[in-house]
């Protein structure tokens, strides 16, 4: 089936209804476009599990803060469709702004504390916007499962939470982080970095590996592990740490003593660009 582009939410729902009644498994990969290798990996994962893979492309204003320029967010629908056709995606759902947020739209999903900490504390309202658009996409595309990258670990935790607490009838699939050869988690923000900045960013993954090896040797005190991670990161010139955090993966509760399934998050700033990475470790 050649790549089909659907603009109207109603047409998407009708298409999904008929695919479901034909017994087809629908997988959704939600994106804001400007697709890179990391996104295409999510599509590949979806293709392994689904009969039909729908990729949504919608730059969602509700998740941008007043100081984050929504209008400047890169848009490249034609290029994105070429990439998606080449990897074998089936449908692109690319609605207009007014189809998603018609005049007077006023219903939002608040994911609670999980959306207020870490990235949520730095970007107030961001996860309310993410939760709202994802809920709408789930209702429009009616997928059996949706794939989200572990790279945005808190986003994944928020989506899992709303799916569980609001009884969305779909599976949330966690896709592994895709990395450059040097180990930097793939991000659209790499476009703003020079080759030498990208080289410096390799220390992020090295700090996560250091944490993993300390935990393997028996370390459980978050503060002590963080201290060693900080000194490794700060040994690289021009790398600033925004935060390092240890959270229970299930509900993102902050941990002082590590046990169970733990997400270690690192956010650094290099040349003015914030770079996020994380590792989930079972203890």
Cα–Cα dist 82/206, whole Å = 35
Which of 3, 25, 32, 232 forms a contact with ligand PAF (CB under 6 A)? Answer: 32
CA neighbor of 282 nearest in space, from 256, 253, 254, 259 = 259
Q: How far is CA 237 from the centre of its chain?
A: 28
Q: Give the E-state strand segments of the chain in sequence order.
A: 4-6, 26-31, 52-57, 91-93, 145-149, 171-175, 239-248, 261-270, 273-282
Q: x/- string (CB under 6 A) for ligand PAF, residues 154-193?
A: -x--------------------------------------
Q: Which is nearer to ligand PAF, 127 or 249 (CB)?
A: 127
Q: Which of 36, 39, 126, 190 is catalytic?
A: 39
Cα–Cα dist 91/18, whole Å = 14
Interface with ligand PAF (CB under 6 A), residue total: 10
Contact between 250 and 156 under an 8 Å Cβ cutoff? The reply is no
Q: Which is nearer to ligand PAF, 152 or 197 (CB)?
A: 152
Copy the structure tokens of residue 283.
Answer: 């203890």
Q: x/- string (CB under 6 A) for ligand PAF, residues 37-66?
A: -----------------------x--x---
Q: Which is nearer to ligand PAF, 207 or 265 (CB)?
A: 265
Q: Which is nearer to ligand PAF, 130 or 276 (CB)?
A: 130
Is 31 a binder of ligand PAF (CB under 6 A)? Answer: yes
In the complex, least distance from residue 282 CB atom to ligand PAF, rounded to whole angstroms: 25
Cα–Cα dist 265/114, whole Å = 14
CA neighbor of 277 nearest in space, from 268, 231, 235 = 268
In the complex, least distance from residue 188 CB atom to ligand PAF, rounded to whole angstroms: 9
Contacts of 224 (CB under 8 A, 6+ apart): none
Contact between 248 and 277 under an 8 Å Cβ cutoff? The reply is no
Cα–Cα dist 281/283, whole Å = 6
Annotated active-site residue 126? The verdict is: no
Cα–Cα dist 72/217, whole Å = 46
Stretch that binds ligand PAF, among 25-33, 77-85, 94-102, 111-119 (CB under 6 A): 25-33
Cα–Cα distances in angstroms (integers) from residue 234 to residues 40, 58, 72, in the given order: 33, 37, 31
Q: Which is nearer to ligand PAF, 134 or 141 (CB)?
A: 134
In the complex, least distance from residue 146 CB atom to ligand PAF, rounded to whole angstroms: 9
In the complex, least distance from residue 168 CB atom to ligand PAF, rounded to whole angstroms: 14
Q: Which is nearer to ligand PAF, 15 or 133 (CB)?
A: 133
In the complex, least distance from residue 138 CB atom to ligand PAF, rounded to whole angstroms: 11
Copy the structure tokens of residue 164.
Answer: 């569980």
Stretch that binds ligand PAF, among 30-38, 80-88, 101-109, 228-236 (CB under 6 A): 30-38
Q: x/- string (CB under 6 A) for ligand PAF, residues 130-159?
A: x--xx-----------------x--x----
Active site residue ranges: 39
User: Which residues of the shown chain bind ligand PAF in the complex (CB under 6 A)?
Assistant: 30-32, 60, 63, 130, 133-134, 152, 155
């Amino acid at each position: 089936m050649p790549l089909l582009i659907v603009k109207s939410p109603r047409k998407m729902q009708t298409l999904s209804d008929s695919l479901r009644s034909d017994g087809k498994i629908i997988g959704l990969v939600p994106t804001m476009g400007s697709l890179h290798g990391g996104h295409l990996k999510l599509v590949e994962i979806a293709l392994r599990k689904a009969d039909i893979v729908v990729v949504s492309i919608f730059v969602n204003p509700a998740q941008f803060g007043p100081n984050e320029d929504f209008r400047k967010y890169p848009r490249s629908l034609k290029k994105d469709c070429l990439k998606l056709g080449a990897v074998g995606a089936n449908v692109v759902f690319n609605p207009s702004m007014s189809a998603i947020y018609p005049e007077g739209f006023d219903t939002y999903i608040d994911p609670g504390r999980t959306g207020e900490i870490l990235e949520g504390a730095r970007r107030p309202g961001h996860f309310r916007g993410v939760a709202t658009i994802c809920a709408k996409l789930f209702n429009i595309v009616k997928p059996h499962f949706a794939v989200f990258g572990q790279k945005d670990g808190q986003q994944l935790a928020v989506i899992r939470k709303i799916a569980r607490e609001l009884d969305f009838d779909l599976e949330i699939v966690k896709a592994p982080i895709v990395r450059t050869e040097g180990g930097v988690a793939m991000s659209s923000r790499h476009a703003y970095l020079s080759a030498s900045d990208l080289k410096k960013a390799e220390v992020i993954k090295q700090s996560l590996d250091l944490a993993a090896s300390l935990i393997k040797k028996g370390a459980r005190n978050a503060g002590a592990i963080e201290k060693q991670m900080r000194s490794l990161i700060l040994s690289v010139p021009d790398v600033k740490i925004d935060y390092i955090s240890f959270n229970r993966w299930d509900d993102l509760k902050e941990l002082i003593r590590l046990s169970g399934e733990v997400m270690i998050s690192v956010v650094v700033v290099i040349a003015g660009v914030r770079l996020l990475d994380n590792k989930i470790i079972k203890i």
